[in-house]
């Protein structure tokens, strides 16, 4: 009896230690995020001004704004979405709704897993040789966006497939039993129900792409460029601007570096929060 009481006490002590340690790890994550964001705001907030957000750089990049980089990142992200969303969503639909169990499907899945595992600088190299040189696009928005699209595709495919799989079979059955074709069932019933998941997953993937430096380093960006007039022009971009200002600037201008970092983090953050809010709104409307 006594021995077992001691064992219970011991178990309880171990339990509370485990709870404390795991709790600390969770707290560390929150602290880290708060610290990073807080520090960027602290260092960068002073640089933010109307001029900073709307004007091109001046005086050998030591003054002025970062508007061409903001616009360039928006442009790159838009075209990345334009290339990767249709292909990614369609591939996700194929995997979730049509793919038979077999070698071909296994190969497709393996390819997607591998695609997600390739380091982003390797995509940059790939984009350089295929889009920039072979296709002759040169360093351009389109070559950069195509490269970023390769990086984003696996995220979009996977989130589409998962969102579609979460739609109950019952709904598909109901639609088929009403005489609807497979395609109509997907388009009218399954896709709308899965839309929140698809959109959030895609936005997370795209915001990740918006912050990437390595893939656009050799495919799209320039140290200084005016706003490109076509997608075949080279562009500035926030992550690259940040990189170049932090490491290779002729004259260091830390206020521009931190200001740029703040704009990038804030932009991506706002989009992510908006996506998460929209999804939870949709979720509360749709429940099964």
Helical H segments across the chain, by residue range: 2-44, 50-54, 67-93, 103-117, 120-127, 141-165, 169-177, 182-184, 191-210, 214-217, 238-247, 254-285
User: Interface with another protein includes 184 (CB under 8 A)?
Assistant: yes
Alpha carbon distance 196, 282 (integer Å): 6
Coil, strand or helix at 266: helix
User: Interface with another protein includes 146 (CB under 8 A)?
Assistant: no
User: Interface with another protein includes 254 (CB under 8 A)?
Assistant: no
Segment interacting with another protein (CB under 8 A) among 3-11, 19-27, 131-139, 175-183: 175-183
User: Interface with another protein includes 166 (CB under 8 A)?
Assistant: no
Closest CA to 267 of 109, 51, 53: 53
Binding mask 32-71 for another protein (x = CB under 8 A): ----------------------------------------
Among 179, 247, 248, 250, binds another protein (CB under 8 A): 179
Among 188, 252, 277, 280, binds another protein (CB under 8 A): 188
Residue 27 token pair: 């707290």
| Phi, psi at 169, each rounded to 5° | -60, -35
Q: How far is the CB of 251 from another protein (least distance, A)?
A: 58
Residue 16 token pair: 């509370």
Closest CA to 155 of 196, 104, 115, 107: 115
Among 3, 29, 30, 177, binds another protein (CB under 8 A): 177
User: Interface with another protein includes 281 (CB under 8 A)?
Assistant: no
User: Interface with another protein includes 287 (CB under 8 A)?
Assistant: yes
Alpha carbon distance 167, 155 (integer Å): 19
Binding mask 107-126 for another protein (x = CB under 8 A): --------------------
Among 82, 107, 174, 183, binds another protein (CB under 8 A): 174
If the CB atoms of residues 175 and 219 are measured against another protein, the closer one turns out to be 175
- DSSP 8-state code for residue 221: B
H helix or E strand, kind and range, residue 57: strand 57-58
Radius of gyration in angstroms for the set of CA atoms belonging to the chain, rounded to a whole number: 24
Alpha carbon distance 4, 58 (integer Å): 76
User: Interface with another protein includes 286 (CB under 8 A)?
Assistant: yes
Segment interacting with another protein (CB under 8 A) among 88-96, 112-120, 163-171, 203-211: 163-171
Q: List residues near another protein by CB under 8 A.
A: 168, 170-171, 173-181, 184, 188-189, 192-193, 285-287
């Amino acid at each position: 009896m006594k021995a077992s009481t001691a064992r219970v006490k011991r178990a309880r002590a171990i339990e509370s230690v485990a709870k404390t340690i795991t709790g600390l790890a969770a707290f560390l994550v929150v602290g880290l995020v708060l610290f990073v964001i807080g520090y960027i705001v602290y260092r960068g907030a002073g640089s933010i001004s109307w001029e900073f957000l709307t004007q091109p750089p001046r005086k050998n990049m030591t003054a002025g704004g970062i508007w061409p980089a903001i616009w360039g990142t928006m442009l790159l992200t838009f075209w990345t979405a334009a290339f990767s969303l249709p292909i990614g969503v369609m591939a996700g639909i194929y995997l979730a709704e049509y793919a038979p169990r077999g070698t071909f499907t296994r190969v497709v899945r393996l390819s997607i897993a591998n695609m997600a595992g390739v380091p982003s600088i390797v995509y940059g190299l790939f984009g350089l040789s295929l889009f920039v040189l072979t296709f002759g696009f040169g360093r351009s928005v389109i070559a950069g966006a195509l490269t970023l699209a390769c990086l984003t595709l696996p995220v979009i495919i996977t989130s589409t497939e998962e969102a579609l799989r979460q739609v109950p079979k019952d709904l598909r059955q109901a639609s088929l039993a009403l005489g609807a074709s497979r395609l109509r069932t997907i388009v009218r019933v399954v896709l709308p129900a899965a839309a929140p998941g698809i959109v959030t997953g895609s936005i997370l993937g795209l915001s990740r792409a918006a912050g990437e430096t390595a893939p656009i380093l050799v495919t799209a960006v320039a140290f200084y460029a005016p706003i490109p007039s076509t997608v075949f022009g080279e562009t500035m971009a926030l992550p690259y601007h940040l990189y170049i200002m932090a490491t290779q600037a002729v004259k260091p201008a830390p206020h521009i570096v931190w200001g740029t970092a703040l704009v990038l983090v804030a932009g991506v953050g706002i989009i992510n929060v908006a996506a998460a809010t929209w999804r939870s709104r949709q979720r509360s409307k749709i429940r099964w």
